[in-house]
Every structure is written in structure tokens, then in C-alpha cells.
Amino acid sequence: MKIIRAPTIARAHELAVKMVLEKGWALNTEDDEATIEYEELALDIEDPFAEPMASPCSRFQRRFLETYADNLLNGSEAEFEYDYHHRLFDWGERLSIDGVNVHVDQIDYIIQKLKASPESRRAVAVTWNPVVDESLDDCPCLQLVQCLLRDGRLQMKVVFRSNDMLSASGANMYALVHLQKRIADEVGAACGRYTHIALVPHVYYKRDLNDITPFCKKGLEIQPVPEVCAACGRCDRAPPR
């Protein structure tokens, strides 16, 4: 696993995109989408609320990020195959015990667990629901959230089974550190380190080609693998046609 330590989530986003595009390999997904995939990445941010929280290279800026974070924290009326708010605050879709539907507020569990046992390593929430997700075309990428109280600070560690580092990870981090702050406030602690683990980090280099350009800056910031440059063709790094 490669570890990226960065002063801000914005910089972590930029460095993750750079690593995948420079070190990764081309792979078509099971849905036949062209990606550059890389090995496991851990993004470690000491102060997740340090600015900038949004990379200027990303098309998803503050207004979008704030809406995305609000949807994770408070829910949305939009209809999706799944959403992280319900998976974290109301887990248990299509499950029942003794005829009673399952509704688990995992975030409240984390809060109460840390209030009762500040040293606990069991303040964990999961999103995967096999009853639902094994048949979904679009299933959760975020799998696990763990919170720890150490030295008066609330740390958060998250695990993604798969993570689009270009178009999704910046928004994912922005929303999740706001969840971290909500939990920290409830248990009376300051926010500590945020660790974002992507087990299969990737970039959709054909679908999101226009979003790569601001990060790459025509090869001045990123020197992508040949497949990306061949698809782009916008600078001297592109192979002759």
C-alpha cells in the first residue's frame, strides 16, 4: 500500500490523481469503461479542515461540495440505488428480526460507544448490505468508517473498496471530514487525523478526459501513462497518430 501524506484534503486529492495516472495501468472494467487502475492508496491528512479543502484543479468546487456533504449528513430527496446517508444513519434495508424491520443509526452508535468507552476500537460503521448490494449495478464504494478518540482528538479512518480518485475522492473526503466533525462535536473532542484508504483507486481516463487536463497541465504537473496521453492528444506527450 502506498501512503500519501498531505497538509490538506485538496493536496491529497491532487497527489492521488497524479500517482494513479503516472504509476497505474490500463484496465477496462466489467462495465467496459476505460480506466487507469493502481494499487492500494492511503491518504493521510493531519488537519482535514486546513485550507484549501477543494483543489482548484477540480470542477467540483465549494458549492457542490457543501451540497454533497449536506446530503451525506442530512439526507436528500433524490432517488438513488443507494445513498451513504441511509447506509450510515439507517442501515438495514430489506432486513428484519422477528418480523421487525431493521433500522440501525450507526453514527449514533459510534457517538454513544465513544462517550461510554473513549478508548474503544469498536466505533465502526459499515455500508455493505449483501441482501441488497449483490444484485445492484451501482453498489457502495465506501465500505467502512472507524472513529478513534486519542489524545482528546477524534480520528476518522475510512475504507473504499473502489474509488474514482479524479471525480469522486475530493467530494468523498470533503463530506466525510464534515461527518468526522459532527461526531467530534457530539463527543466533545477536536477533529484529529483523517485517513482515506482506497483499495482499488482508479481514474476513468476516457470518460473524464476533460477533467484530467487541469490536473495534468499539459504534462507539466503530471506525466501520465501512454494510454492517457494517446486518448488526450493535447500536448507534446501524445504519441504520433
User: Where are the chain's structural domains?
Assistant: 2-232
Residue the block writes with cell 493502481: 38
- Given pLDDT bands bounded at 50, 70 and 90, which one contains residue 88? very high
Which percentage of the chain shows pLDDT scores above 70?
Answer: 100
Output DSSP code: residue 188.
Answer: T
Q: What is the mean pLDDT of the chain?
A: 96
Residue 229 has pLDDT above 80, yes or no: yes
Q: Is 36 exposed, middle or buried (0-12, 13-18, 19+ CB in 10 A)?
A: buried
Give the distance from CA 130 to its chain's centroid.
21
**From the CB of residue 142, how many other CB atoms can be counted at a distance below 10 Å?**
24
Is-catalytic flag, 141? Answer: yes
**Beta carbons within 8 Å of 166's beta carbon, 6+ residues apart:** 17, 20, 203, 204, 208, 211, 212, 215
**Beta carbons within 8 Å of 73's beta carbon, 6+ residues apart:** 85, 175, 178, 179, 182
| Count of residues making up the chain | 241
pLDDT of residue 241: 67
| Residue 158 and residue 148 in contact, taking contact as beta carbons nearer than 8 Å | no
Say whether domain 2-232 belongs to CATH 3.30.572.10: yes
Once rounded to an integer, what is the mean pLDDT over residues 204-232? 97
Cα–Cα dist 205/37, whole Å: 10
More confident residue, 41 or 236: 41
- Given pLDDT bands bounded at 50, 70 and 90, which one contains residue 52? very high
Q: Using one digit for the tens of pLDDT, what is the confidence trace for 90-145? A: 999 999 999 999 999 999 999 999 999 999 999 999 999 999 999 998 999 999 99
164: left (phi over 0), alpha (psi -120 to 50) or beta: beta
98: left (phi over 0), alpha (psi -120 to 50) or beta: left
Residue 22 has pLDDT above 70, yes or no: yes
Q: Annotated catalytic residue: which of 141, 147, 191, 216?
A: 141
Residue 80 has pLDDT above 90, yes or no: no
Largest Cα–Cα distance in the chain?
66
Q: What is the pTM of this model?
A: 0.96
Once rounded to an integer, what is the mean pLDDT over residues 208-225? 97
Cα–Cα dist 160/16, whole Å: 14
Strand 2-6 relative to strand 41-45: parallel, antiparallel, unpaired?
A: parallel
pLDDT of residue 77: 82
Q: Using one digit for the tens of pLDDT, what is the confidence trace for 153-210? A: 999 999 999 999 999 999 999 999 999 999 999 999 999 999 999 999 999 999 999 9
- Given pLDDT bands bounded at 50, 70 and 90, which one contains residue 79? confident
Cα–Cα dist 179/234, whole Å: 39
- Given pLDDT bands bounded at 50, 70 and 90, which one contains residue 238? confident
